[in-house]
Chain A
Amino acid sequence: MTDASGVVRTRDLVRTFGEGRRAIRAVDGVSLTVASGEIVVIMGPSGSGKTTLLSLMGALLRPTSGTVEIAGQDVTGMPEARLARLRARNVGFVFQGFNLLDALTVEENVLLPAQLNDGGIGAARSRAEELLGRLELLDRRTARPATLSGGEKQRVAIARALINRVPLVLADEPTGNLDSQRGAEVTMRLHDIARDEGCAVVIVTHDPRIEDVADRVLWLEDGRVRDRRADPHVWVRDPVCGMQVDEWTAGIRLTHAGRDYLFCSERCRERFLREPGAYVQDGGDRHRNEGVS
């Protein structure tokens, strides 16, 4: 595997849902290569096909046409059992909802994928120790996910994604359920470890802050990779935390008293919904959503 060939490479990738006149091309002819050590951010409006593309790149979904290569292997027609083995050794996943297993401790969650790797869990203990240390989770190793904060959960998910020293990490909205401070922290940690270990990272997000850590930002719209608008950002403020949100890419919206509000995360939106009066004040919002009236 070289930078030239890429850790993950797609060619004319198409994924269609439904048939006939109702068919929707969620991904429409996407060709891209992500090299080792590269961090690629995929942005775009809701429904643009970002998550479908991520599923195809992670061999979780089969393309309607086109090819996907992971670590030099064409996975397009690979049998399910081989695909599962390939995912275990080559792909780590980080999800918006963390998706930790509630029944296992932090350390067990991190070690779980190692069961599928050569050497098994025993050989991965020192690696887990190292990752837990880097992600400042050593004192939480015996805790259950239910007792962790959102930021801690996402750090555990990152450690779990990296335990098998995979060459590719796919992250779907990794900051979507975190407030701005924790979102930034998680992003930086993912960035640092990926860089140090030379693994390729593909992040699907609405969060413009993640652009800062990206080597490349791709814009997906109607299933195709397109050029971004000349003026990429129209910044508005999240009325809850005050963070800047890109109006064009933000996916978490709400209409309240005839006005649209954009939020950096679900958490902020939920807080707003619980007590709108605390964030919408006479004469204007505490943090004005200036671009969205």
Chain B
Amino acid sequence: MIVRWAVVSLLQARLRMLASSLAVAAAFTLVFMFRAVWEGETRQLATYLERAGADVWVMQAGVSNVHMASSFVGRAKRREVESVEGVRAAAAVLYLNSMVTFSGQRWFCYIVGIEPGQRLGAPWAMAEGRGQVQPGEVVVPGVLARVSGVGLGGSVKVGDRDLLVVGLSEETFSATNPVVFVHREDLADLLWLEGYDSYLLVQANEGTAPGELARRIEAEVDAVEAMTTEELVESDTALARQMGTQIIALMTGICAALATLLVGFTMYVHTARLGTELAVLKAMGFQRGHVYLAVVVQSSLVAASAFGLALAGTAILASLTRGLATVVAVRLTPGAVLEVAGVGALVAIVASLLLARRVASVEPATVFRT
């Protein structure tokens, strides 16, 4: 009955509850969207690794990433890798994280150097033009071309040289790290690097497990690290997440604090309005814990409705983002939903704790003065 009283009395103040829930929902939506954008971008980061066609990636010993990493593997290593039992095919890419200028706009890109006719590591889906590049040519993400206004036949600047856009690729764009493809020689010249590749992309024979092949390559080829695509994707997304963890935690903390204050303020006003009823409950013999339970129920109700509103709001915003601004990848994961639900529960508890003293200080004797 006390829980029913708590719920109905809160619902009676509909306008206050709605205003509070909307305000808290706005804070939760910020967390949701931040997480969704971050998760979307992080996932997008790994798309190239997943779609490049390799089962195993071979890189310089001690390197375990592509994202934010440099790797140099001598050209002779390719033949050594090809001779390992279970290798069907191997191809090399040269790779650099650097700025590429599109119509005066600078984008931080993954620049992948490939050779003509190469399939492993080359663009896998094209929107327009061709995916193979000759010296002086470049393939750029279709989204980036659209955003920057550079089309087929236009040019982009990689390092100190202008390259001709011959193809617009699909699934290669992320706001933080779009992938552009250039001829291997152009990138080698840019790097002043001869006789080295960055990564070897290996396909396994049928019946050979990628993990087993990776271990075999590491055993038979000196000074290299071999990882399955799955391991590399996990390593890169973990690195990306690690880089964003503190920012996300800070953002979540700020929004949670804001939400706690909002719920706390709402409950403060609400308990002030219901001060006499709280005193009546205590006079009747309800313990402090009973009254506190009522406040927790009310805080939880505000937090839960805010969570629901935020979830709905985020779904709408995410679909709008996908529809209107495809430059940002948005992905709402069950983990993020659970995390915000946890934040909501914490907000309700902390907001209730803020009121514990107030609830405890309600004097039952005041019922005779009202």
Contacts and interface: CB of A to CB of B under 8 A. Distances in A.
A206 to B, nearest CB: 14
B9 interface: yes
Contacts of A87: 283-285
Interface in A99-118: 99, 101-104, 108, 111-113, 115-116
Interface stretch (A52-60, A130-138, A229-237, A268-276): A52-60
Q: Which of A88, A101, A108 has the most CB of B within 10 A?
A: A101
A150 to B, nearest CB: 15
Interface string B9-23: 100100000000000
Interface stretch (A77-85, A216-224, A255-263, A279-287): A77-85
Q: Which of B4, B9, B287, B365 has the most CB of A within 10 A?
A: B365
Contacts of A86: 285
B369 A104 contact: no
B285 A99 contact: no
A104 B8 contact: yes
A60 B286 contact: no
B284 A116 contact: yes
A61 B365 contact: yes
B213 to A, nearest CB: 68
A35 B233 CA distance: 83
A82 to B, nearest CB: 10
B286 A121 contact: no
A101 B294 CA distance: 13
A116 B4 CA distance: 15
Given A60-B283, A103-B9, A108 B4 contact: yes
B contacts with A: majority SS: helix
Interface residues on B, range: 20 to 34
Q: Which of B9, B283, B285 has the most CB of A within 10 A?
A: B285
Contacts of A51: 368-369
A95 B279 CA distance: 12
A200 B257 CA distance: 52
Interface residues of A, number: 31
A101 B277 contact: yes
Contacts of B369: 51
Interface string B349-370: 0000000000000011101111
Contacts of A112: 1-2, 5, 284
A85 B363 CA distance: 16
Given A108-B1, A121-B1, A113 B365 contact: no
A121 B1 CA distance: 9
Q: Which of B9, B283, B364, B368 has the most CB of A within 10 A?
A: B368
A89 interface: yes
Contacts of A89: 285
A253 B235 CA distance: 83
Contacts of A97: 276, 370
Given A51-B368, A88-B284, A172-B368, A111 B8 contact: no
B280 interface: yes
Given A84-B286, A89-B285, A108-B1, A103 B367 contact: no
Q: Which of B4, B5, B364 has the most CB of A within 10 A?
A: B364
Nearest to A112: B1
Contacts of A58: 283
Interface of A: 51, 54-55, 58, 60-61, 80-81, 84-89, 91, 93, 95, 97, 99, 101-104, 108, 111-113, 115-116, 121, 172
8 contacts: A93-B284, A99-B370, A101-B9, A101-B281, A103-B12, A104-B8, A108-B5, A112-B1
Lowest 4 CB-CB distances: which A-B pairs, in order? Answer: A88-B285, A103-B8, A103-B9, A60-B365
